[in-house]
Structure 1
Amino acid sequence: MTAGVRAHARIAARDDGRGGTSLPVLEGDGPLALRRTRGLGSEARVMLVGAMSGPLGGDHFTVEAAVAEGARLHIGSAAATIALPGQAKGESHYDVRLKVADGAELHWLPEQLISANGSDLNVSSRVELAAGARLVFREEQVLGRAGEEPGRIGSRLTVLLGGKPLLDQEVTCGPGAPGGWDGPAVLAGHRALGQLLVVRPEFAREPVQAQLLGECASLVPLAGPAALVTALASDALRLRRVLDEALNSLCGDA
């Protein structure tokens, strides 16, 4: 059996003392390459660039980012991530670990994660926010490429605010997932699912109002200064349109 690839990317963002954000740590190995791009105002921008296909079966990728007080960081990706079967047997793993300090802001806005036929991927995202932190976190999953049945994908998102749970949810889709994952109570035949979490201190004073955002999307306030959008769509483009409209409505400057 061929061993999978292990890759680790690390980002640290700090207030540079001149009205901007510095990146004292910006390093990635293997297929996880990091590139700094032009930011807006005090914000630093980093693109995650896949240097090779993956994650494949048996691979384990980890991305870590820490944003210190006064810093603003935007993380995106150059292209969608495609989970593929590989020569190594077993599950692949993609871990995201994010920490945002009081008075800091992080936008995590990567492209979609596509679960190709035959793949088996577990995604684990953990976000630790200080009480005065600000966050925009988008997660999008596409089940299968065009005309293709999906692989299995399990995803868990855990968010702590001030050391207390804000959100902890898990979903598994595809072959081997618990029965009913594609039924009317879960995906109802849709092949793209996503969520958008926005945390802003001002939401504590003026909570967002729960509302439907079309037939298969909703916006709900959480028990804290946060709002959660969940959406289903027939494809990635329609899903992105819904989430972009929701993001613009919640914070038009994002």
Structure 2
Amino acid sequence: MDGVTATGVRAHARIVARPDGRGGTALPVLDGEGPLALRRTRAAGGEARVLVVGAMSGPLGGDRLALTASVAEGARLHVGSAAATIALPGQTKAEARYDVRLDVADDAELRWLPEQLISAGGSDLYVTTHAELTAGARLVLREEQVLGRSGEEPGRLTSRLTVRIAGRTVLDQELACGPGAPGGWDGPAVLAGQRAVGQLVVVRPEFAQEPVRAQALGECAALIPLAGPAALLSAVAPDALRLRRLLDEALARFD
């Protein structure tokens, strides 16, 4: 259950996708709480589509938010969000957390394509995304972070992204930015003064036989194969618009 305590909001949203027996995908569980409202939208082919709608401001300092999505064998699910998520300072100086857990079974596909996460000045957010896939699962996962609104210094943002396939970790990376983060985050080896950073992870069983070729995509993005049937694009940009353009161009290579 969701609730509000002296240290912030507690909320957990859940999505479960299963084949409907008619070539489509059913959503037997679509349960949003607090600031994480879930809305089913028009399906496309056999794919079910869900939007995460921000029903409250946040995450704020002290909030504990979680979202889990499980895609059963043979199901196809597309999850997006209605607008950017903005991490804001709260009444407490405590760190906020937003934890995402994704499970995808054999012969199932998840497209996880939310809008940007914006780290507003004075905020402190730790966000984790953990994807657990079986050997025959398919995944497209986009993650975008923007440091500060227009003309604003960012808050502190720590982001950890983990992808496991058939019980083996193929990606586990963490990036901390903003006030109090380890030194060097804004230097030439990390963001180099840019204010938007993003990742695109694509998992496809056929990559086991035909791995993606490592290559630079312009000056600010790189595509690399992972140690499994997966590929990672990492990109930085001056702003959210140019970051999205880079990620969209990369995704078009796989669609």
1:10 maps to: 14
Q: 1:91 and 2:114 equivalent?
A: no
Moved over 4 A (4+): none
Q: 1:53 and 2:63 equivalent?
A: no
- Displacement of 1:243 in angstroms is 0.2
Gaps of 5+ in 2: none
- Please report the TM-score for the alignment, with normalisation by the length of structure 1: 0.98
Amino acid at match of 1:61: L
Amino acid at match of 1:176: G
In 2: Cα distance, 1:202 partner to 1:160 partner: 17
Amino acid at match of 2:111: H
The 5-angstrom pairing of residues 15-94 of structure 1 reads 15-94=19-98
Percent of pairs identical after alignment?
Answer: 75
Structure 2 contact 7–94 (Cα < 8 Å) conserved: no
Structure 1 contact 2–87 (Cα < 8 Å) conserved: no
User: C-alpha root-mean-square deviation of aligned residues, in Å?
Assistant: 0.8
Amino acid at match of 1:109: L
- Please report the TM-score for the alignment, with normalisation by the length of structure 2: 0.97
Query: Size of the alignment, in residue pairs?
Result: 251
In 2: Cα distance, 1:173 partner to 1:89 partner: 17
In 1: Cα distance, 2:172 partner to 2:33 partner: 29
1:154 maps to: 158
- Displacement of 1:3 in angstroms is 2.1
- Displacement of 1:103 in angstroms is 0.7
What SS class does the counterpart of residue 43 from structure 2 fall into? Answer: coil
1:184-233 residue CA offsets vs partner (Å, 9 max, x unmatched): 11111000000000000111111111111111100011111111000000
1:225 maps to: 229
The 5-angstrom pairing of residues 64-143 of structure 1 reads 64-143=68-147
Out of 220, 238, 242, the residue aligned to residue 246 of structure 2 is 242
Out of 214, 223, 228, the residue aligned to residue 218 of structure 2 is 214
Structure 1 contact 77–109 (Cα < 8 Å) conserved: yes
1:177 maps to: 181
- Displacement of 1:13 in angstroms is 0.1
What SS class does the counterpart of residue 125 from structure 1 fall into? Answer: strand
